[in-house]
Homo-oligomer: A and B are copies of this chain.
Amino acid sequence: MRVAVVGLGLIGGSLLRALAAAGHEVTGFDADPATREAARTEGFRIADSVAEVVAGSELTALAVPLTVLPEVIPQLAGYDGLVTDVTSVKGPVRDLLKDRRFVGGHPMAGRETSGFAASEKDLFDGCAWVLCLEPHETDLSHWLTLARLFTGMGARVVPVTAAEHDTAAAQISHVPHLFAAALAEQIVENPLAGALGAGSFRDGTRVAATRPELTAAMCGGNRGAVRRELHRLIGVLEEMSEALEAEDPVAALTPRLRMGAQARRAWPATPGQATRVPAEVQALLDLGRSGGWVTSVGDTDVVALRPESDRKPS
């Protein structure tokens, strides 16, 4: 495929490398001249503008932050090929690109480092790559084209709607960052607590060390889902607090904790046998909802893995 990658940070740079390694005809662009120079020095084909990089491409991957997308999208004016992105929030991006041949994506491949210098061609090997599939909106053939491309790089492609992605991201990433920040803040007022903190404090607060601007941008970009899930979890914490008021607090609290304990012990899920799933919107969405993913794409169906036990813990 002829692919354009706009933005050559950790994700865009790694995508450039992975696509080149897989034999695709890939061209990159970054707003930063030094990054373009670094990529050229390594032998990659690099354009000097968005207009130049998308010219003649079949697919354009926008690998810039959410806040930069509104500046980049107008520069696609003369381009009518397929577009995808890699940002961590999918609802707002879906709105921004609703007049395009667009399939939203989100590779779950974050790490502490950033920038082109940190990029590597194997970054997506084994990583979950969300690809948004909206009933009556996404062109299934476009979705399958991207799923084929990314599974070819070793990614586990997860079919979901933008709304489902944003809820899940709030649950497993955005709200956990807020929980960590709230816990970490405690030792500012109480240095004694800091001196006594051990394993549960260390792990429960690790991501609180993330740059505050990044966490705020991530949560702010998904604030609808973050606020909804945060309020739901506050309700759970209030129920736990009520259980502690019971005559026998241990008996009242234990069943509530058992759910989380069983879920955490079974995580990450062991995949069961590979199965074939029809290449149809509802079947693919059902796969994603059950915690499964696509490992390769055929003409009329896909090969999929699901968690070995689909049962809820009893």
Q: A178-B237, A183-B176 are in contact. Are A171 and B193 (CB under 8 A)?
A: yes
Residues of B within 8 A of A169 (CB): 196
Q: Which residues of the other chain, B, contact A254 by a CB distance below 8 angstroms?
A: 212-213, 216
Task: Identify which of A32-40, A51-59, A219-227 touches chain B.
Answer: A219-227
- 29 residue pairs of the A-B complex, CB under 8 angstroms, read A108-B196, A110-B199, A130-B196, A168-B193, A171-B186, A172-B196, A175-B183, A176-B183, A180-B204, A181-B259, A182-B236, A182-B237, A183-B260, A185-B236, A185-B263, A186-B233, A188-B260, A191-B289, A194-B268, A194-B307, A200-B206, A203-B207, A205-B260, A205-B267, A211-B261, A216-B249, A217-B250, A219-B253, A231-B241
Residues of chain B with a CB closer than 8 A to A220's CB: 244, 249-250, 253
B192 to A173, Cβ gap below 8 A?
no
- The answer to the question of A113 belonging to the interface, with a C-beta cut-off of 8 Å to chain B, is no
Total interface residues on A, using CB and 8 Å?
Answer: 100
Tell me what chain A mostly uses at the interface: helix, strand, loop, or mixed. Answer: helix
Q: Which 6 pairs of residues, A with B, have the shortest CB-CB distance?
A: A191-B291, A184-B260, A220-B249, A181-B260, A212-B257, A176-B204
List of B residues within 8 angstroms of A187 by Cβ: 171-172, 263, 267
A233 touching B108 in the complex, CB below 8 Å, given contacts A192-B164, A197-B268, A249-B216: no
User: A207 to B199, alpha carbons, bound, how many Å?
Assistant: 9
Q: Would A181 and B256 count as touching, CB distance under 8 A?
A: yes
Q: A172-B200, A192-B288, A200-B206 are in contact. List 14 more A-B contacts (CB 8 A).
A: A128-B195, A179-B237, A185-B259, A185-B263, A187-B267, A194-B291, A194-B307, A200-B207, A203-B206, A205-B260, A216-B253, A216-B257, A220-B253, A223-B245
